[in-house]
Structure 1
Amino acid sequence: MRPGDKAGGRPLRVLAAAPPRWKTRWSRPVGRVLDHVVYRTTVSGRENIPADGPVIFAANHLSFLDGPVMVGAASRYMHVMVKYDLFTGFLGWVLHTSGQIPVNRDGDRGALQFAKDVLDRGDCVGILPEGTRGTGDAAHVNAGVAWLALNSGAAVVPVAILGTRVGHEPRNSIPKPRRHLHVVFGEPLKIAREPGVTGRVSMDRATERIRLRLAGHILGATAATGQQLPADDHLPSKHKGQ
């Protein structure tokens, strides 16, 4: 993404470097208002979040609210990787000034490098590795989360977000205020390169290992909370995530 890029005819806010740590200082309070004033959010597993060092929060993706709900629930500040074409207009200003990272899900090494820079300084990144809003079962995840884990040494904390979309609600729906949401942080996972295999194989295996951990964590969270994942709305693939 370059200065002058546009979405819907409007200019996008882009990054020239990793966002500074101080920008996240007001995003978490806003997330907490969302979690505990607008909605009723039960948070569990905070003890699984490392108190220091780089962390990748990898969450399932149900609705527009997943990122800010996760930010408000976590015990550490984080920079969330967000779909790049949301970085326009007032929302783009909010995302930019709160230190979020725009990413083109078709492939964006620049965004991954900015996220790695954040991790290299010992801070945290939030990522929704399913890429698009769906049923949130982590049946598929992209390789970006594995690339970050392998190249930064950061711990990966699986996050189950439940209730931001339920039943047959459409993917672009926003839950009504006071709904009960759940955010469950799982035990951290450390990923290392495998000796004796190619980088591609190591990446593929790391991606699948993270996917299995996240999928299992989500399954356990639904059982523990009683909050089920939404139904598949069967949208054509070209509309998914829109």
Structure 2
Amino acid sequence: MTTAQAPSQWGPRWSRWVGRVLARGLWATEVRGRDRVPSAGPAIVVANHVGFIDGPVLHGVIPRGSHFLIGSHMFHGALGALLRGASQIEVEGSGRAALAQGLAVLRRGDVVGMFPEGTRGAGRADAVHGGAAWLALQSGAPIVPTTMLGTRHTGEPVSVWPRPRRRILVEFGHPQVLEPPAELKGRRRQEWAQEAVAEALRAQVAGTLATTTIELPADDGGRSDTEEALS
């Protein structure tokens, strides 16, 4: 994979405040474990994905500026201009160029945000794509498994914009560095890391669910598997 230039650090410096206003002002977002996000150095925040507002809410409550990998279908019109101005990373085609930019962000010592399920839906993390695992292996950056709850309820579409003061919960888990067995090489190493990310995210979601009355939606919100690009 060719070397890519990292997106500007300036975008997250203003856009995270937009996300924070939405999370804290428009909706009633409780945040747990903010101190678990490393205060310096590279990190990959990986979260389950249930609704349209997951991205802006999470971007707003991460205690540092972050660059999210976002499907190219979102980069149109006014929203596309906003995302580009916020220095978020557009995922096109196979996603290789986006991963290269994400790796450049991590090598710069900053935060990448990802929804490794790849689509909005029930948010159970039953399966994840391999992008976050690849970035973790290439950079040595820890993953921070993160739970999103309340951004979509059962019966609501994945595109829902929740009513004001909707109760939302975001919980950051403990950072984990992926350390595959030394004998694993190539594809087997990547597969091990991908499953490690999935297990960490599933465990994080299950642990959060055990401590709150907010539930995951019982449906997938009518999602389309082509709705989101690989994250």
TM range (shorter): over 0.9
Query: TM-score scaled by structure 2?
Result: 0.93
CA contact (8 A) 1:55 1:123 kept: yes
Q: 1:151 to 1:31 in 2, by over 3 A?
A: same
In 1, the alpha carbon distance for the partners of 2:226 and 2:69 equals: 20
Question: What's the counterpart of residue 158 of structure 1?
Answer: 145
Cα deviation, residue 86, structure 1: 1.1
Q: 1:84 aligns with which of 59, 69, 72?
A: 72
Q: 1:94 aligns with which of 66, 82, 86?
A: 82
Question: What's the counterpart of residue 46 of structure 2?
Answer: 58
In 2, the alpha carbon distance for the partners of 1:142 and 1:156 equals: 14
Counterpart amino acid of 1:78?
A: S
Q: Which has the higher contact order (CA 8 A, sep 6+)?
A: 2
In 2, the alpha carbon distance for the partners of 1:68 and 1:237 equals: 21
Q: 1:21 to 1:224 in 2, by over 3 A?
A: same
Gaps of 5+ in 1: 1-15
Q: 2:30 aligns with which of 29, 35, 42?
A: 42
Gaps of 5+ in 2: none
What's the Cα RMSD here?
1.7
Q: Deviations over 1:47-76 (max 9, x none)?
A: 211111100000110111111111111111
Within-5 A mapping of 1:1-242: 17-104=5-92, 107-233=94-220, 235=222, 241=228
In 2, the alpha carbon distance for the partners of 1:17 and 1:47 equals: 29
Q: 1:137 to 1:76 in 2, by over 3 A?
A: same
Q: Deviations over 1:61-95 (max 9, x none)?
A: 01111111111111111001111121111100000
CA contact (8 A) 1:159 1:218 kept: yes
Query: TM-score scaled by structure 1?
Result: 0.89
Identity %: 43
CA contact (8 A) 1:63 1:171 kept: yes
Higher mean displacement: 141-150 or 69-78 = 69-78
CA contact (8 A) 2:136 2:142 kept: yes
In 2, the alpha carbon distance for the partners of 1:185 and 1:213 equals: 12
In 2, the alpha carbon distance for the partners of 1:119 and 1:17 equals: 11
Number of aligned residue pairs: 226
- The 3-state SS of whatever aligns with 1:99 is coil
- Structure 1 outlier segments of 4+, above 2 Å: 233-242
Cα deviation, residue 239, structure 1: 6.3
